Amino acid sequence: MTAKRDIHLLDVTLRDGSHSMRHAFTEEQVRAVAKGLDQAGVEYFEVSHGDGLAGSSLQYGLSLVDELKLIEAAKEESKQAKISVLLLPGIGVKEDLQAAMKAGADMVRVATHITEADVAKQHIEFAREQGLKTVGFLMMAHMAPVEKLVEQAKLFESYGAEIVYVTDSAGALLPHEVTERVHALKNSLDCEIGFHGHNNLSLAMANTMAAVDAGATYVDGSLRCLGAGSGNTQTEVMVAVFDRLGIKTGVELYPVMDVANETVAKFMPRPQEITGSSLIMGYSGVYSSFLLFTQEAAKKFNVDERDILVELGRMKAVGGQEDLIFQVASEISKKQNR
């Protein structure tokens, strides 16, 4: 029997968490998390490289285990939950999505920068033709005015997206800014609205609540906040908060707490804290997945990682420009040694 839901909670531990795990999830870990999420009543959870299908590369980080094997493993452990995958046009292609479907994917979230929705047309149309639940994922939503967000969201909807997400990739948005954006989409689109937050300014839960109050019906979370930067809205906390508010997620609190604390906590490489670097990411509006690359560059060039992030924010760097991190670190080092 399907649980009644007022909102749909999508867990991204096995995708966004891949950034924090340096894309080194094992099949055993994926099976354990998938089984726990399924038993807790989570409706959707995402399994991909952190940068989406075909993201395993020298630029983004090589996966320890082929993502298709991980999708297959997750599917085998799921009796009711559905598997989502992320696809970034230019990284993943049609054949990658077809392979993911064969492995068990039920949903695809096609992600673009906030101003580049037009590059996703063929991907969204193809996904709808294949019968996948199809989502448009507008990343770095803080980097464009609300009018541009609405314009781009309308493109996603016109291509066939059933849900359009406001994606706070840098954890830079404040609650009133989330409210403004979600409310604008709610008033301008016929499809459903989603929200994906990061916790770099310690606002992920507050922003998620603001999104739901403004009309979002899909919200993302990760167990123990495992995700890029300071992580995402914490899934088990979200379940508890929405239960207190009388908002149904269909997820049982104790079982989702158990998979967070007895499974995920044991393999996390570090607690998802708001460090100086991740705080600067939210403050400067820098892509959350840049964190580990920035720490490596800072160590290599013996510079302050905060200086790198502030400069990347000034340059308005976006996902796909990871090579800039080392260039910026090198330039800072040269200036310091003159």
> d(Cα 208, Cα 223) in Å, to the nearest integer?
15
Closest Cα partner for 159 from 90, 88, 110? 110
Q: Is 306 assigned to a binding site?
A: no
Q: Is 287 assigned to a binding site?
A: yes
Burial level of 247, CB count in 10 A (0-12/13-18/19+)? middle
> d(Cα 164, Cα 196) in Å, to the nearest integer?
11
Q: Is 23 assigned to a binding site?
A: no
Q: Which of 19, 23, 123, 142 is catalytic?
A: 19
> d(Cα 45, Cα 84) in Å, to the nearest integer?
6
Would you call 198 helix, strand, or coil by DSSP? strand
Q: Is 16 assigned to a binding site?
A: yes
Q: Is 109 assigned to a binding site?
A: no
> d(Cα 224, Cα 204) in Å, to the nearest integer?
13
Q: Is 15 assigned to a binding site?
A: yes
The contacts of residue 105 (CB under 8 Å, 6+ apart) are: 71, 83, 84, 85, 97, 132
Is residue 4 within 8 Å of residue 43, measured between CB atoms? no
23 is catalytic: no
User: Residue 67, Cα to own-chain centre: how many angstroms?
Assistant: 16
CB atoms inside a 10 Å sphere around CB 314? 12
**Token output for 267:** 């393999």
Is residue 198 within 8 Å of residue 168, measured between CB atoms? yes
> d(Cα 321, Cα 290) in Å, to the nearest integer?
9
**Which of the residues are catalytic?**
19
Residue numbers belonging to the annotated binding site for substrate: 15-16, 169, 196, 287
Residue numbers belonging to the annotated binding site: 15-16, 169, 196, 198, 287
